[in-house]
Every structure is written in C-alpha cells, then in structure tokens.
Amino acid sequence: TVHILSPTPHNFHHYDLNFLAVYLDWQQYPLQILIIMSTVIVIILCCKDWQRKALIVVTTSDVR
C-alpha cells in the first residue's frame, strides 16, 4: 500500500489527493509498477516543492 502523508493538515488539502493519494493494492499492481509509480510521485512532489510537506510511505504488510 502506498500512503502519502502530510505533517501539515492545512496544506494537505492543496494536494491533488485524487491522483496522488491513491491506495494501490499489491495484489493488483506488480511490485515494479509500485516502485515506478512511487518514484514518479516523488519526482512530482520535488518538482512542486512538496518535499518538506509530503512523505511517501510504502508498506509491505499486504504482500502475500
């Protein structure tokens, strides 16, 4: 599961949550795609100067 967290709740509303904060299921998406998509999100966050406001946490608790 890919979670996008924000330490500042008021800034959290400015993010495109419909696109970025997508909960990906490990059973539907291969690990490689998860890594690629996570990398893309990281690049987007850096390009938008969100590196201080957003954090991407990838958990493998759902891996079978």
CA dihedral sign, ordered 29, 35, 36, 38: positive
Q: Where exactly are the structural domains of the chain? A: 2-58
CB 59 within 8 A of CB 3: yes
For range 21-31, the mean pLDDT: 48
Per-residue pLDDT at 62: 41
Per-residue pLDDT at 45: 52
Give which of 6, 4, 11 is closest to 40, Cα–Cα: 4
For range 16-29, the mean pLDDT: 44
